[in-house]
Amino acid sequence: MYLKQIELNHFRNISAENINFGKQINIIHGRNGQGKTSLLEAVFFLAITKSFRAKSEKIVLQHDKEYLQIAGLFETDKKDAFSVRIFYSVADGKHVFFNQNKIDKFSQLIGKIPVTLLSLEDLELAYGVPANRRKFIDILLSQVSPIYLQALQIYKKALSHRNRLLSLISENKENSSILFPWDEQLVKNGAYIIRLRQKFITFANEKIGDYYRKISFRNEQISIKYKTNVPFEAETGEIENVFKQTLFDNYDADVQRQNTLIGPHRDDLVFFKEGFPLKTYGSQGENKTLLIALKIVESEYLKEQTAENPILLMDDIFGELDNERINNLIQCVIPFGQTLITTTSREKIKGVPEESVRFMEIEQGKVVK
Amino acid sequence: MHTSGLPVLDKLINDFSKLPGIGYKTAQRLALFILKSDSSYVSELADALLSVKENTRLCEQCFNIAEHERCSICADTRRDAGLLCVVEDVVDVMAIEESHEFRGLYHVLGGVISPLAGTMPDDLHLKELAARVQVNGVREVLLAINPSTEGEATMIYISRMLRDSDVRITRIASGVPLGSHLEFLDTATIGRAIQTRRDL
Ligand SMILES: Nc1ncnc2c1ncn2[C@@H]1O[C@H](COP(=O)(O)OP(=O)(O)O)[C@@H](O)[C@H]1O
Ligand SMILES: [Mg+2]
Ligand SMILES: [Zn+2]
């Protein structure tokens, strides 16, 4: 996927800007607080219809303005052109247009523009709570498969109903015989969720070590484990019966806690270096390298599954990486098509083939060169 | 709070705005329309409103709207009593009747199971469905319930409830709406349509 042009109005500190991007590496540089992250945020917004850092549209609307608009012209790898426009105003709410046609359900857009994002906040992915890692894998797989997104929505809803029933059961207002319609949907959709997550982890395990070593210059083994409390057989791939049985076995504990303790909503990803969990033993630098490698794997997976190169967004991640590592990193992402990278230090990027890179400087919400 | 300055008018606007799909602006327009209409029209309308309430009830067999103990569909002897179509609500009966495709009888549940909304199986006409299937020589129960999470749960519940009876249980196909272009459908809908495909 190639974002040719973006037009922004009243988005964060960007008043009105029309920006053309290059097909491969785009380096957006400038001092702190000039609008670099905001620009990536706008691109992400076009693809996912949401911000990655703001909970509501109001926050990204430029101060004292009535409306905001983001419009993008895209070209697929097969050279089909299309446009997406997002309009928001406090009075009218959010509206999404695909080729000028208004989209009723925002989820219809998800997956049309595959995108992966890497920002410093993603360090939460390495250190933070399991929910962060589930969110990462859920966003990725929802882009890969709309049926995954649907399964996830049904699963979450069935889970809320089930938890409500557990409360009623614990108060003796209902009995266990009315759980089965929800259990059945948890099992069916949960098994689908686990299967797709497991498939991605298998893919990631084949790839992540190479990327990690290219960026770290260290010959270390990296692996990822999908940790689930549904103890399914890896060999047969049978999940449904095991899940059903585990739910059943755990019934008393669930009632006591008024909460469902079994299922993919409690799963986690664990990253290992040389067999030891990175979260506990790894340095911050190692965790960061792992994340970068994971994001490249994510891009590769999106490319493989959707037959379309994703747009890769990297927000201010160079930090203490030296020129050589940065160079290696850029070499790794060139095969995945368009990449937008922000940095405060342009001079760190040297030796990248000139025809692959476009530089632009941003100052007070304007592209100055 | 909006006000027109006339309490009688405000009351009417307020009552209209309780109707489904009617916001304040529309309620105001409707109320002004009534205000300007002939008295004869207004009293006819008022009679019609009272009359639906006073002269209708729920069919004792299927819980559709009826003027007598049985609704006009249940009373129609030409319809196939061996085929029951289970729906959530009376509006679904109307929608299916408009298609003229279905010649059996109905069973209106009065909703779907939803613990979060406080609707439990006992709040729906499920026991009555089980009883009907037992006695009336029913061959097939067709579930025409929206495939939401709650709708699915209700269908699962019914399948389990009727498991030991000899009836065939079917559900309406979900998939591509007629007259729609594939490219504008969300992929999940297309996916579901492909999963439920059938032979030609
Ligand atoms: N809703 C908003 N309206 C106007 N300015 C905003 C809004 N939200 C953030 N800003 C400002 O936009 C500037 C750019 O932020 P950001 O894109 O994060 O900068 P950078 O990534 O270049 O360091 C900051 O000075 C911030 O205070
Ligand atoms: Mg920034
Ligand atoms: Zn009837």
Identical fold at B7-54 and B79-181+188-193? no
Encoded tokens for A5: 């042009």
* pLDDT, mean of residues A178-203: 96
Q: What is the pLDDT of residue A152?
A: 95
* Per-residue pLDDT at A351: 77
The alpha-carbon radius of gyration of chain A (Å, integer) is: 22
Q: What is the mean pLDDT of residues A313-323?
A: 86
Cβ contact A323:A350 at 8 Å: yes
User: Structure pTM?
Assistant: 0.83
Strand order in the sheet with A67-75: A14-20, A2-11, A67-75, A81-89, A93-98, A101-103
Question: Which residue, A307, A330, A358, sits at the end of a domain?
Answer: A307
Q: Is the dihedral of CA A277, A278, A283, A286 positive or negative?
A: positive
Reduced 3-state DSSP string for B122-184: HHCCHHHHHHHHHHCCCCEEEECCCCCHHHHHHHHHHHHHCCCCCCEEEECCCCCCCCCCHHH
Amino acid letter for position A298? E
Q: What would you measure as the largest C-alpha separation in chain A, in angstroms? A: 71
Is the pLDDT assigned to residue B184 strictly greater than 70?
no
3-state secondary structure of A150: helix
> What is the distance between the alpha carbons of residues A325 and A319, in angstroms, rounded to a whole number?
11
Residues A263, A229, single domain; the answer is yes
Domain boundary among A258, A285, A307: A307
SS3 content of chain A, % helix, strand, coil (to 5): 45, 25, 30
- The residue among A307, A335, A357 that closes a domain is A307
Same domain? A272 vs A245: yes
In chain A, beta strands by DSSP E: 2-11, 14-20, 25-29, 67-75, 81-89, 93-98, 101-103, 115-119, 222-227, 268-273, 276-277, 311-315, 339-343, 357-363, 366-367
Question: Which of A9, A12, A62, A89 should be mutated for ligand 1, with most atoms under 8 A from CB?
Answer: A12
Please report which confidence band the pLDDT of residue A249 belongs to, taking 50, 70 and 90 as the band edges. very high
Is A162 near ligand 1, meaning CB less than 6 Å away? no
pLDDT at B158 > cutoff 90: yes
Q: Which residues of B touch A184 (CB under 8 A)?
A: 156
Mean pLDDT of A137-164: 94
pLDDT higher than threshold 60 for residue B1: no
* Residue B187 pLDDT greater than 70, yes or no: no
Which residue out of A143, A185, A305, A308 would a mutagenesis test of the B interface target, given it has the greatest number of B Cβ atoms within 10 Å?
Answer: A185
A38 CB within 6 A, ligand 1: yes
- Please identify which residue in the block is written with the tokens 């439990």: B120
Same domain, A248 and A286: yes
Domain B79-181+188-193, CATH among 3.40.50.880, 3.90.180.10, 3.30.70.2860, 3.40.1360.10: 3.40.1360.10
Mean of pLDDT values over A186-194: 96
> 3-state DSSP call for residue B26?
helix
Q: How far is A153 from chain B (nearest CA, A)?
A: 9
Residue A25 lies in a domain: yes
**pLDDT tens digits, residue range A29-83?**
999 999 999 999 999 999 999 998 898 999 999 999 999 999 999 999 999 999 9
| Residues A281 and A324 both lie in one domain | no
Distance of CA A308 to the CA centre of its chain: 16
Q: Is residue A266 part of a domain?
A: yes
Whether residue A358 lies inside any domain: the answer is yes
Q: Tokens 């686990």: give the residue.
A: A194
pLDDT of A272 reads 96
Mean pLDDT for chain A overall: 92
Q: What does the pLDDT read at residue A324?
A: 83
Same domain, yes or no: A195 and A260: yes
Nearest CB neighbour to A146, from listed B154, B160, B191: B191
Range with the lowest mean pLDDT among A63-67, A195-199, A349-353, B98-102? A349-353
CATH of the domain at A314: 3.40.50.300
| Rounded average pLDDT over A350-359 | 86
Kindly report the number of other CB atoms within 10 A of residue B70's CB atom: 15
How remote is the CA of residue A263 from the centroid of ligand 2, in Å?
37
Q: Are A292 and A274 in the same domain?
A: yes
Spatial distance between the Cα atoms of A8 and A39, rounded to a whole number of angstroms: 9
Domain range B7-54, CATH architecture: Orthogonal Bundle (1.10)
Find chain B residues with C-beta within 8 A of A174's C-beta.
120
Quote the pLDDT of residue A336: 84
Convert the pLDDT of each residue in B4-14 to its tens digit: 788 999 999 99
Rounded Cα distance, A298 and A190, in Å = 22
Q: Which of B193, B197, B198, B174 is nearest to B182 (CA)?
A: B193
Per the CB < 8 Å rule, is A165 touching B115? yes
Report yes or no on A122 lying in a domain: no
Dist. CA B33–CA B16, nearest whole Å: 12
Q: How far is residue B104's CA from residue B12's CA, in Å, rounded to a whole number? A: 42
Average pLDDT for residues B28-32, to the nearest whole number?
A: 94
Q: Are residues A136 and A278 in the same domain?
A: yes
The tens digit of pLDDT for each residue in B61-80 reads 999 999 999 999 999 999 99
For residue A327, name the pLDDT band (cuts at 50, 70, 90): confident
Total number of domains in chain A: 2
Phi, psi dihedrals of residue A311, rounded to the nearest 5°: -90, 125
Same-domain check for residues A150 and A283: yes
Q: Which amino acid is at A131?
A: A
Task: Please measure the distance between the N-terminal and C-terminal CA atoms of chain A and give it in whole angstroms.
Answer: 24
Query: Three-class SS of residue A92?
Result: coil
> Residue A17 domain-assigned?
yes
Which pLDDT score, from 0 to 100, does residue A322 have? 81
In this structure, the answer to whether residues A298 and A319 fall within a common structural domain is no
Does residue A243 belong to any structural domain of this protein?
A: yes
User: Residue A356's pLDDT is what?
Assistant: 87
Mean pLDDT of the B81-106 span: 94
pLDDT over 70, % of chain A: 100
Nearest CA to ligand 1 atom 20: A33
Helix, strand or coil, per DSSP, at residue A105: coil
Percent residues over pLDDT 90 in chain B: 72
The model's confidence at residue A213, banded by pLDDT at 50, 70 and 90, is very high
CATH of residue A287's domain is 1.20.1050.90
Domain span including residue A172: 129-307
Contact B114 A157 (CB under 8 A): no
Work out the mean pLDDT of chain B and round it to a whole number: 89
User: What distance lies between CA B98 and its chain's CA centroid?
Assistant: 13
Q: Is the ipTM of this complex over 0.85?
A: no
pLDDT at residue B186 in the model: 65
Domain ranges of chain B: 7-54, 79-181+188-193
